[in-house]
Structure 1
Amino acid sequence: MDNTQENQIELHGDEEIIEVIDLNDTEPCPDDLADDLGDVDFEDAGNADNDEGWETEDEMEAEADQDDSELTFSKHNGSVFCVSLDPATNSMAVTGGEDDKAFVWRVSDGEVLLECTGHKDSVTCAVFSHDSSMVASGDMSGMIKVWKIETKEEIWSFEVGDLEWLEWHPCAPVLLAGTDDGNVWMWKIPAGDCKTFQSSACQATSGKVLPDGKRAVVGYEDGTVRVWDLKQGNAVHVIKGQEGHKGALTCLACNKDGSLVLTGSVDGSAKLINTTTGKVVGEYSVEGGKAKGSRDREESNSVESVGFCNVLPLVAVAYLDGTLAIYDLSTHVLRHRCQHEAGIVHLQWEESSSVVSTCCLDGALRLWDARSGNMVSEYRGHVAEVLDFTINREATLAVTASGDHQAKVFCLQRPDR
């Protein structure tokens, strides 16, 4: 679909060009963005493993004798694939699992506040809305459900193609999703009004709404990166070919003001993109051999997670071979190489420090000081790989999700506290 076609929105089967409110005001406040996006024209769409480990089972069980967690959440009956904290209070977690369920539960005592049922497949995405009033859960088959936490009611559902990612708008009741067929969907919740952003028929593997609330960056299986205008519905920048990645996008992250995006790929590289110009302004890669556990990927060392430090001009890139690389943002020079014994699944910077955390296929959570490159602390307790984790704003606790059917809460202790 070209740009002119994308501006024609089908409403109840009748095609007509709808006038939309301009979102391009400078320096909007969150309320303005929410109001503006609320007036964007949508279509009325209605409602509609066997992983090879890095350690033997005996070794994993032996290490599990050390359980550093404060609380274990054991309501899932299969692997726990994803975890998020509510942004308003950080007091609630939502986890999604192989048992086709998501649970919203209290971090302090593990009490279940809401059980999200009715999914057809493993729940791989579960996220809170910006104001923590709603939670969205999505399964691999493409069934997406939204629940109102206060009333514990399902208020909206929709079914798309195989789901790749799911994300809420940062300041409006709007939900975005990327699918296996290359589409990016955007809905107003709970009305269900819909808008789609179509591209070539390959997976929309990762996506992120930028902090301005007006644009989204999406990475695709063919290595392309697109910056979408959420109002107009067109791609304002397309990074592909020699500038783009040579393999599927696995992850992406933006800096605090959204001026830069860091993308990671199975091709073993991370690219720094200026979101205003659409130009690649940096590239990061490390030397490495064939990554253990790469299975279906022919690439030597896939990038699995990326992130920006908020307090120093540093970025972190996590690789499947267990390398955590800390690079200087401006010079792109490798500052530190922090080696793990197993592949890294995910990384997250603390909001107000130079500490970056990683979770691994060996079941451990580790904290690293990016200034020195030294490990600050290590937390164990899972008997299988950690598949996802998140840290609260104060960096005092982490919540992990694991293939051992459990989620755990860890209190983070550091010498500087």
Structure 2
Amino acid sequence: MANTEQNSFDLHGDEEIIEVIDLNDTEATPDDLADDLEDVDFGEPSAAYNDEGWETEDEMEAEAEQDDSEMTFSRHTGSVFCVSLDPATNSLAVTGGEDDKAYVWRVSDGHVVFECTGHKDSVTCAMFSHDSSLVASGDMSGMIKVWKVETKQEIWSFQVGDLEWLEWHPYAPVLLAGTDDGNVWMWKIPGGDCKTFQSSSCQATSGKILPDGKRAVVGYEDGTVRLWDLKQGNTIHVIKGQDGHKGALTCLACSKDGSLVLTGSVDGRAKLVNTAAGKVVGVFSLEGGKATGRRDEDESNSVESVGFCNILPLIAVAYLDGTLAIYDLSTQVLRHSCRHETGIVHLQWEESSSVVSTCSLDGALRQWDARSGYMVSEYRGHAAEILDFTMNREATLAVTASGDNQAKVFCLQRPDR
């Protein structure tokens, strides 16, 4: 375990002089930012039904056996909670599970490249660094480990409080984590120089580094949203009270240029925040009943996932009742409501199209055209809920993690390709 101390960065240390990031430099490139952070002081029944509208036993069995995946990874012995693809080649995946295990494995054949050993609780966070050279794994107890992919060796570890989320910096070997005690930690890897961002004692439930690499947005259990300056370690904006949420933050997303942040909460609302002004500029919520069954009047329709479309002024909000809502960003009007039979767990927009993908509690991966609101593809194969998924930049490959103890690789094909 690395022996580090909080706030141990020294701007004027004897060993080196730290170059200060110019926050007013709008011409900085990703490489510049990476260099800077190296020195930061840290309708109708279908044919599947019989005449009475019920599925026959044979039809139900056939549906259960349907598997559209190209490959299944079955090394986990408990639910698989998280999955990440290496961004450089998309040839490797890392998964973490309830069995206290994390594996790095080849997408082509499921071969285990190495196991991230040493965890003693469920691994809920596992992801590659921006250049795919490192992989981080974190368990619920707060044990975080970093591995060098090339050598398959552990190069750093640290113990924090109960872990809520983990996030790599988009340009540099810098790792952020949010914990149950409300702290946000930042480390420079592998040196381990440490900085903490302290706030209230409630959980830091979600976090995201903005595209400029200089700020991070963090959501808390009490509904507060804070925008942090990663260099100075202070809050730039705090959104709370009437402007904040009425319940814990569940998810965050930021626009491609970082000017807007979308927040989701158990209070059933998504809020649009201008990051420069720190002001809420839009509120999105659904009215009405649940997709299936009934919901008590006081039960919140939690927002489970949010995201921005990269090519159109659209956002997507996924709800616990199975509704995928597509909103027009400029008018803030609901454009399409795409219904699922069960709750949605996660959504992800394709990098260069108007298609958004969802995974849900029924074990299916679906793709939706945000222009029309129609489903364009559906992929099945899991025997339980999908808990996480990720896609490559070309949106031709998806890897899913499920409660059936498996991860699956799907080749994504659509009529327009």
TM-score (norm: length of structure 1): 0.90
Match of 2:273 in 1: 273
The answer for the alignment partner of 1:222 in structure 2 is 222
Matched residue, 1:341? 341
- SS of 1:182's equivalent? coil
Q: Which residue number in structure 1 is paired with residue 51 of structure 2?
A: none
In the TM superposition, what is the alpha-carbon distance from 1:241 to its structure 2 partner?
0.6
**Alignment CA distance shift 1:381-1:247 (3 Å):** same
Q: CA deviation at 1:225?
A: 0.4
Which aligned pairs between 1:185-334 and structure 2 lie closer than 5 A? 185-289=185-289, 299-334=299-334
Percent identity over the alignment is 84
Q: Is the 8 Å Cα contact of residues 291 and 339 (structure 2) preserved in structure 1? A: no
Q: Check whether the contact 1:60–1:383 (CA below 8 A) recurs between aligned residues.
A: no
Q: Note the alpha carbon deviations across 1:373-393, whole angstroms, 9 max, x for none.
A: 000011100000000001111
3-state SS, counterpart of residue 252 of structure 2: strand
* Corresponding position of 2:64: 64
In the alignment, residue 366 of structure 2 is paired with which amino acid? R
- Count of residues in correspondence between the two structures: 392
Which residue of structure 2 aligns with residue 356 of structure 1?
Answer: 356
For the residues of structure 2 that align with 1:214 and 1:144, how far apart are their CA atoms? 23
CA distance in 1, matches of 2:358, 2:175: 27
Amino acid in the other structure paired with 2:160: V
* Alignment check: 8 A CA contact 1:306 1:347 kept: yes
Secondary structure of 1:64's partner? helix
Give, as a single letter, the amino acid of the residue that structure 2 aligns with 1:346.
H
State the match for 1:3 in structure 2: none
Shift of 1:61: 6.4
Tell me which stretches of 4 or more aligned residues in structure 1 moved more than 6 Å.
Answer: 58-61, 290-295
Partner SS for 2:65: coil
Structure 1 residues 10, 155: closer, same or farther in 2, change over 3 A?
A: closer
The structure-2 alpha-carbon separation of the partners of 1:311 and 1:11, relative to structure 1 and needing over 3 Å to count, comes to closer
Alignment of 1:94-173 (within 5 A): 94-173=94-173
Which digits, 9 at most, give the CA deviation of each residue in 1:242-261, with x for residues without a partner? 11111100000001111100
Residue in 1 that maps onto 2:28: 28
The within-5 A match list for 1:6-45 is: 9-10=7-8, 21-24=20-23, 25-42=25-42
Larger Rg: 2
- 1:147 CA drift (Å): 0.2
CA distance in 2 between counterparts of 1:215 and 1:172 reads 14
Task: Answer yes or no: is the 8 Å Cα contact 1:324–1:337 preserved in 2.
Answer: yes
Deviations 1:293-349 (A, max 9, x none): 999x96420000000000110000000000000000111100000000000000000
Deviation at 1:19, TM superposition (A): 7.2
Unaligned runs of 5+ in 2: 1-5, 43-57
In structure 2, give the amino acid aligned to 1:88. A
Aligned partners of 1:23 and 1:37 also within 8 Å: no
Indicate conservation of the 8 Å contact 2:291/2:323, yes or no. no
Q: Who is 1:48 aligned against?
A: none
Q: Structure 2 vs 1, CA of residues 22 and 386 (structure 1 numbering), >3 Å: closer, same or farther?
A: same
1:358-416 CA-partner distances (Å, limit 9, x unpaired) = 00000000000000000001110000000000111111111000000000001111110
- 1:208 and 1:154 map into 2 onto residues whose CA distance is 25
- In the alignment, is the contact (CA less than 8 A) between 2:7 and 2:196 conserved in 1? no
Rounded to whole Å, the distance in 2 between the matches of 1:294 and 1:152 is 50
Please list every run of 5 or more consecutive structure 1 residues that lacks an aligned counterpart in the other structure.
1-7, 43-57
Structure-1 residue corresponding to 2:370: 370
Partner Cα distance (1:219, 1:107) in 2: 33
Which secondary structure does the structure 2 equivalent of 1:219 belong to? strand
Letter paired with 2:159: E
Letter in 2 for 1:126: A
TM-score, with length taken from structure 2: 0.90
Deviation for aligned residue 1:160: 0.3
Contact 2:361-2:385 within 8 A present in 1 as well: yes
Given that 1:183 and 1:198 are in contact with CA atoms closer than 8 Å, whether structure 2 keeps it comes out as yes
Contact 1:288 1:300 in 2 (8 A): no
Over the aligned positions, Cα root-mean-square deviation in angstroms equals 2.4
Distance 1:90 1:294, change over 3 A: farther
What SS class does the counterpart of residue 32 from structure 2 fall into? helix
